[in-house]
Chain A
């Protein structure tokens, strides 16, 4: 199996990673090989098997719905590539 170049482009778009034309060809073979190898999972009979998303058997703990942290905009913004006042700055999104 190979993953079609257009599919690579589509996934890359979903993942917000720019993929050049040339790279999408390389990736199409690369991802195809990996997915081929993964397809051996189809041999396993999983009828009626409940999916396991976490091995954690303890019920998640409850806590009071109160603020435990916050009021530190400088710390939150400290590592931002660009900020203005108490805001992150991004390219214009509304015309």
Chain B
């Protein structure tokens, strides 16, 4: 059946329940698409055999009437989630060959719900990057392209997760978002990307980057699918003391709840210099769409927005410099032999970490070192509180906030790597939500004049992902974004 790739997860699940299709058939279609789109460099470790077994198990569950919410649905996993006995590298040379003896909580929950693992997906090294170009495996390529045919970035850090879903090489995928690493690539590739509230999903077993900011989330083709997989991922985990012991509501209901009477904020400070004109127009459209769907638009102010990026580039590297201390050539991964222990550490880390990762470790070490701690780290934490308080005030007035996801559409590979700050600016609209711990979602909402996808972002207050699903669904309905990228698998076209 050649339409298998065109189905949303929700549609596929209904047909699986009716036994009109089988999990093995569905998996075959996706594995063929994975082969066909190999040139996009999305899968760093495909898990064909594991997938086959999981799909057969899912078919058995359907025939015995014991299927769960994700049974038989093919899912790709960012190579930042530890997967038991399957190589997990964080796309870094220092972790090449690492075989975890445990499974991350989020992936175990997804497999327990019947999900079928397609393989591990490309990302920036240790999730540090906005274009997937810091990966030791080379960049993931965006299935969208301009007329010139040059390879475009999938965004980052979860580039492979976004690109695979857009290209029809995964029905859904898992990613992580520390400063925009789900929402930005989702916008660049024209798919739905959700960054849940900090504490909603367990971080246990995910390679840590910045522990006070990291959150796992899904990539899907529709908002409804996002709610479906997110419900399986979320929930308290005693192994992550920062995961919230709150009941996980039925998010699928929220998708169809409507937005009549909701108040949507438009923050003045998100009009930034150098913003793409297509994005400004789309933002206006989004505003009108929500109004037509019955919401009230309110102009709001988030005065400290401008300081979110510099604040983030102290806090995230500081936490990273501490988290990445564990890669020392002793316990796992790479080692460069040397005479003394210190030399061994220094050579191993110089060889095993890429340039951007080293840069961030050094910035973080500097910010935390004696004499600079107050001026940088403490100052950044104070600014972080002001940013959070801006949102607290705003959410007294509104139910959700509408912004563009990124200031521009995607860019050619190689275009921004030379200047770290230009690269950092990609995350100007996404970073504030991480600093404040808020949930955010990016919905594909249109194309630029050059034919590249653009996303709109919605933010809500802590643990109100339900409001994201309702508003994102309203945008999705009116935007009618159903375009297929030119380099997607043939059966998706």
Residues of A whose CB lies within 8 Å of any CB of B are 3, 7-8, 11-19, 27, 30-31, 33-35, 37-44, 46, 49-56, 58, 60-61, 63, 72, 75-76, 78-82, 88, 90-93
A80 / chain B contacts, CB cutoff of 8 Å: 330-332
* Closest B residue, CB atoms, query A30: B359
Contact in complex: A44, B245 (CB < 8 Å)? no
B361 / chain A contacts, CB cutoff of 8 Å: 15, 17
Known: A38-B313, A78-B99. A56 touches B359 (CB 8 A): no
Interface string of B323-341 (1 = CB under 8 A from A): 0010011111111011111
Among B99, B198, B329, B376, the residue within 8 A (CB) of A56 is B198
A44 CA / B383 CA spacing, docked (Å):
7
A76 CA / B161 CA spacing, docked (Å):
30
5 tightest Cβ-Cβ pairs between the two chains A and B: A55-B437, A51-B381, A79-B332, A52-B385, A46-B382
Contact in complex: B383, A46 (CB < 8 Å)? yes
Q: Chain A: interface secondary structure?
A: loop
| B231 interface contact, C-beta 8 A | no
Chain B: minimal CB distance from A72 (Å): 8
Q: Chain B: interface secondary structure?
A: helix
Contact in complex: A55, B359 (CB < 8 Å)? no
Chain A: minimal CB distance from B87 (Å): 11
B376 / chain A contacts, CB cutoff of 8 Å: 38
Known: A18-B347, A88-B331. A53 touches B212 (CB 8 A): yes
Contact in complex: A46, B386 (CB < 8 Å)? yes
Contact in complex: A49, B382 (CB < 8 Å)? yes
* Besides A38-B310, A58-B244, 14 other A-B contacts (C-beta < 8 A): A16-B349, A34-B359, A38-B314, A40-B307, A44-B307, A44-B386, A46-B383, A49-B386, A50-B382, A53-B381, A78-B99, A79-B97, A81-B329, A88-B330
* Closest A residue, CB atoms, query B361: A15
Contact in complex: B420, A30 (CB < 8 Å)? yes
A51 CA / B376 CA spacing, docked (Å):
12
B381 / chain A contacts, CB cutoff of 8 Å: 51-53
Contact in complex: A18, B349 (CB < 8 Å)? yes
Among A16, A30, A58, A72, the residue within 8 A (CB) of B328 is A16
A63 CA / B321 CA spacing, docked (Å):
29
Residues of B whose CB lies within 8 Å of any CB of A are 97-99, 101, 198-199, 212, 238, 241-242, 244-245, 304, 306-307, 310-311, 313-314, 321, 325, 328-335, 337-347, 349-350, 353, 358-359, 361-363, 365-366, 369, 376, 378-386, 388, 420-421, 435-437, 462
A15 CA / B311 CA spacing, docked (Å):
21
Would you mind naming 14 contact pairs between A and B with Cβ atoms under 8 Å apart? A13-B346, A16-B342, A33-B421, A41-B307, A41-B383, A44-B383, A46-B382, A51-B384, A51-B385, A54-B242, A55-B462, A58-B245, A90-B330, A93-B341
A76 / chain B contacts, CB cutoff of 8 Å: 101
B385 / chain A contacts, CB cutoff of 8 Å: 49-52
A92 CA / B337 CA spacing, docked (Å):
12
Contact in complex: B344, A91 (CB < 8 Å)? yes
* Closest A residue, CB atoms, query B336: A18
* Closest A residue, CB atoms, query B313: A38
Contact in complex: B366, A3 (CB < 8 Å)? yes
A78 CA / B313 CA spacing, docked (Å):
35
A51 CA / B333 CA spacing, docked (Å):
36
Contact in complex: A19, B350 (CB < 8 Å)? yes
A79 CA / B329 CA spacing, docked (Å):
10
B384 / chain A contacts, CB cutoff of 8 Å: 51-52
Among B238, B332, B366, B383, the residue within 8 A (CB) of A63 is B238
Known: A14-B369, A52-B384, A56-B242. A8 touches B436 (CB 8 A): no
Contact in complex: A79, B331 (CB < 8 Å)? yes
A15 / chain B contacts, CB cutoff of 8 Å: 321, 349, 361-362, 365
* Closest B residue, CB atoms, query A72: B101
A78 / chain B contacts, CB cutoff of 8 Å: 99, 101
A25 CA / B314 CA spacing, docked (Å):
22
A53 / chain B contacts, CB cutoff of 8 Å: 212, 381
B304 / chain A contacts, CB cutoff of 8 Å: 44
Contact in complex: B362, A31 (CB < 8 Å)? yes
Chain A: minimal CB distance from B353 (Å): 7
Chain A: minimal CB distance from B421 (Å): 6
B97 / chain A contacts, CB cutoff of 8 Å: 79
Chain B: minimal CB distance from A90 (Å): 5
* Closest A residue, CB atoms, query B236: A61
A29 CA / B379 CA spacing, docked (Å):
23
Chain A: minimal CB distance from B42 (Å): 25
Chain A: minimal CB distance from B79 (Å): 16
Contact in complex: A81, B366 (CB < 8 Å)? no
User: Which of A34, A39, A63, A80 has most chain B Cβ within 10 Å?
Assistant: A34
Chain B: minimal CB distance from A85 (Å): 15
A15 CA / B360 CA spacing, docked (Å):
11
* Closest A residue, CB atoms, query B306: A40
Contact in complex: B366, A79 (CB < 8 Å)? no
Chain A: minimal CB distance from B386 (Å): 6
Known: A34-B313, A44-B304, A91-B338. A52 touches B388 (CB 8 A): yes
Contact in complex: A37, B334 (CB < 8 Å)? no
* Closest A residue, CB atoms, query B421: A37
Contact in complex: A34, B420 (CB < 8 Å)? yes
A43 / chain B contacts, CB cutoff of 8 Å: 307
Chain B: minimal CB distance from A21 (Å): 13
